Structure 1
């Protein structure tokens, strides 16, 4: 027996094949291959729909193109209960009421075929809701992973900018490809990873120009530039001034 239970209000305590379950408001439970189901307790305000389907009927209904992905079936067997959004509840109620309406019309010449169609729609909606929730979960997980990577990059940037002047250097440290790191950083900040490196490295140069008496050559050596000329070229490209010009301007301003 395959059993679908949609709880609108209250609580239902039951036992399916020896396992206890507590179904509460807006809970949809799907028990696959259930040999027996015992209703242990129902609260006085409980409102629920229960749909019982024999396995041969379901097998016949789904034999051509089952609507459920295999992962859905595995998940249901492990955890048959799921809580639905108001939109999902509204949709499932519409499908159930349509099924009830078809059953009530005994004079309809195509009642059996319409019941099958209505059940198909109900089951495809369940499958669609599962796939939607699974996609949202994956998206949320991926978003969290990307945010974590971005934070790790920024933290590493401030601690290791003296050594790390390239995207590939940080990507190697974070065990990702440079392309993926760039994509994540751009998505999270609207700037490329190299933009962040340049900004932070320029800030490190400015800090030494303003707060120390180190020569440009010493600053270049401290920040792991190949030579003074490379640092000067980089700094002018970022600020429009050479390090010497910037230091003179800062000193005159004081």
Structure 2
């Protein structure tokens, strides 16, 4: 287990809201939606609009029927809108930024990738590779309707308590969803085949992956440039040209994201959070946090 894995406030599968629109199968599967639910009773919206980052310990797929939601996953921002699918892999750090009042979505939470085990390893790797690089997929209206049909078929099976093969039947529907996602990915890759990724984009992606791994210990450009065998000046220039942001801004944002999660976890003092993020003292951490967020770490923690 990586050091930082134990630091964040974890969100486990069975912590999803238990409402009249929530169905579970042991600790393996949760189906949940807010379709046809009034805003006053919308526990799904309350869940996805949490005001602090958390680390998911399970896989989550969201199918958006209407409205929109803005989220930040591992420092990347996404807007989930009509006919979009958001796939969040285990270990991701997520935070909801904005949600529309008319948003309707269905959620599928899986504690493991068990429905994929009988499928080709190459297909599974394509799935994980795609949704590691981007969490969002736009699909057609017909594909969304089919996905929702499969979702309701799964719900119907789980609501048959005397049906002996509930898990097997639901697994079959999930496998169809997975195969559909492979088709979506294949079609997307064909559309992108003419757009060859340039060297600068590759360096930017490699830089972000390094920051995601090492932000708690290293905030220096020298460290990341050294890892990529580049000079700090050249790496900074590349990051600016690709993202129109300074490399130090990306590093700071990930440090702040981690700090927010730790402060809201309820397990650490401000001093301990500063220590975990390798700040020399609490005063330096406080100034760094306030400059980025606009309030002190303690105020954020208690807010």
- Where is the helix percentage greater, Structure 1 or Structure 2? 1
Please give the TM-score of this superposition, normalised by the length of structure 1: 0.48
